[in-house]
Amino acid sequence: MQSTLKIILLTTTIIGLFVSYLSAEETKEDFAMVSMYEMRGETHVYESNRSKTRFRDINVTFSMLKSNDKAISIDNITQHDSAFVPVPKTEKFQDTNTTYWLKVDLGASFPSGRFVYSYADADFTQSTITPSQQLEKFVLEGRQNMKFTYTAGKDAQVYYFKLVPKHYRIPFRFVYVSTPETFYEYLAKGSHIQLILGLILGLIIMAGIYNAAMYYYNKDISFLYYALMQLFMALILHTYSGAFVWDEDSFFSRNIIYGNLISLVASLFATLFTLTFLEVKTYLPKLYSISRIIIVFLLIDMLISLFYKSIIIEFYILPFLMLALIYAGYKRVRQGYKPAYFYLAGWIVLTLAVFLNIFQIGYKYLIIDPLYIGAAVEAILFSLALSYKMRMQAREKEQQKELLVHQSKLASMGEMIGNIAHQWRQPLTHLGYTMMNLKEAQKHGELDEQYLSNKVEDATTQIAFMSQTIDDFKDFYEPNKEKEDFSLVLATKETLEIMKNTFKHSDIEVELIIKEDTTLHNYKNEYKQVLLNLLSNAKDALVERVTISPKVTITIEQNKVTIEDNAGGIQKELLSRIYEPYFSTKEGNTGIGLYMSKMIVERNMGGKLSVITNDTTTSFVILF
């Protein structure tokens, strides 16, 4: 987690440095432009002349013209100038019989030297430029540019561009005139902005891949939903970056259906992430019902957007749907769910960025689209929220583990109490008979000193045996944090001594086969606890299945101990679950004995516990 935070902080620091540098740099404005773009079914004409700072009193003007006369060409257009009809600000460009022209008037006092035309979605003819002018054509990021030397008083001041539409889904035609200085300044600034956008996209994609990996290892569905949300957010930002906007052959170029779909899918996964991450179904049941309606609405709108338009995006409903998710975060914060603080902060920033993007607020104060800034901040805050959640889950697992250990000890103690009862039953019975004999001897006058001495000695022997049993059990549960050298055979015999009366009471034969003893440097009492669990399980299985001639065989061969019973095999469908905590086929059993045995052998003692089963026998093998 710490390394992830360091990467995130480093990335945000680099982005912040670039942003501060660019915002402090004052861009010189000495350009004039005209653009036509489609919005909500209408084509809008936008004109701008910012040439006052560097062009001073020079006034570059643009005129949008149209005509139904197809005989007009670039060579005779000056003869028909007066016949053109001005183009309205919301021209739809739907009349196929109409030709459109852009007239660029540099003005009589335009300064001599180089200047640059940038243009898109429109063609010009070579005769627009005189042969004496030095022409240099080049393409940058799919946009066509034309740089040439202009000499005042010698070259023409008026140029005409015939707007020949290219096959874009959405036309966006513009002509932009500037000095080379301004052109290259904007080019440099654009490259810096693209670098920032690349860093932000990298951050978002990294967050998506990282959380996809977290889902693979943790199987928490909220990580998967977040990863998918981030990857679709990266697609949205990639589209906004204009990477394919000038590539008319690309499927992604100005594709409204594609843009709407990825926005709706990102919103869908954001909603699903919210439901799972905040556990809305459990803690906010009313809001869960509303969220399900939002999900259905998103799915229906996706289907509609394939054939018509997205209702949610067309009518700016999306940011208002996001408010429901903010409310969910707020409610969980009020309930004391700490990861929700990061979630709420990230979602507020992203929603604000979406509002600014959709309604185009504050663009002149920001060097990049606010959606990029909001997405980057959201990615960082959501990653912190998920990291905090992981930390909480790790603590809960640790507490569960401690509880399992405690329950295992209680279960083993219950087994031990049963074993003590079996161990004490015979000496207690013997003591009872001794007391009866003393009473009868006194009644019949036969209680002499020798008889009393014999009976007291006999009772003392029984009491000593019971005391030794207590010591054996006390040693068995004595905490032992240090490894020690012990014999596998002796430790096994000590455990069998504790269990012998239990097996005898159930008429179970126990056979110890020693092929080769070995001395281990490990935790002796933990080995004895595991062996006790396995022997107890074997005894329970033999008793439960009423096995004919029940038998337990323990074989010791160097560093391998095998505990085999003839109670029949384990069913294949249960075999993969026998080590799961709380799983048991026996009623009243806690189901943690085998789980704890495997943990002790494999985690604490560095060994391996496996099972071999067939139709008649089951063998547990401990390998050190």
Residues 377 and 510 in one domain: no
Question: What does the angle CA 366 – CA 369 – CA 374 come to, to the nearest 5 degrees?
Answer: 95
Q: Radius of gyration (Cα) for the chain, nearest Å?
A: 42
CA atoms 542, 543, 544, 546: torsion sign: positive
Residues 337 and 230 in one domain: yes
Residues 180 and 216 in one domain: no
Range of the domain at 535: 479-624
Contact status, residue 87 vs residue 65, Cβ threshold 8 Å: yes
The yes-or-no verdict on residue 220 having pLDDT over 70 is yes
Is 540 a member of any domain? yes
Widest Cα–Cα separation across the chain: 155
Q: What is the pLDDT of residues 31-80, one digit of tens each?
A: 667 777 666 666 677 766 544 434 444 567 777 788 888 778 777 777 77
**Token code pair at residue 207:** 């967050």
What CATH number is associated with residue 517?
3.30.565.10
Quick one: average pLDDT of 116-138?
69
Closest to 18 measured CA to CA, from 234, 159, 189, 225: 189
Residues 217 and 159 in one domain: no
Residues in the chain: 624
Is 387 a member of any domain? yes
Quick one: average pLDDT of 570-581?
75
At 232 the pLDDT is 94
Residues 169 and 234 in one domain: no
Residues 249 and 154 in one domain: no
Q: Which helix (H) or strand (E) holds 54?
A: none
State the Cα–Cα distance between residues 205 and 236, nearest whole angstrom: 12
Residues 214 and 169 in one domain: no
Residues 307 and 288 in one domain: yes
Phi–psi pair at 97, nearest 5 degrees: -90, 0
Residues 280 and 144 in one domain: no
Q: Which helix (H) or strand (E) holds 93?
A: none
Residues 153 and 201 in one domain: no
Contact status, residue 85 vs residue 67, Cβ threshold 8 Å: yes
The yes-or-no verdict on residue 284 having pLDDT over 90 is yes
Work out the pLDDT band at 17, boundaries 50, 70, 90.
very low
Interacting residues of 456 by C-beta distance below 8 A, sequence separation 6+? none
Residues 177 and 200 in one domain: no
Q: List, in sequence order, every residue forming a beta bridge with 104; answer none if it has no partner.
A: 62, 159
| Residue 130 CB neighbour total at 10 angstroms | 13
Helix, strand, coil proportions of the chain in percent (round to 5)?
Answer: 55, 15, 30
> Number of helices (H) and strands (E), helices first, in the chain?
15, 17
Q: What is the pLDDT of residues 595-615, one digit of tens each?
A: 778 888 888 888 899 888 888
Contact status, residue 262 vs residue 305, Cβ threshold 8 Å: no
At 386 the pLDDT is 87
Residues 219 and 134 in one domain: no
**Token code pair at residue 336:** 């004391």
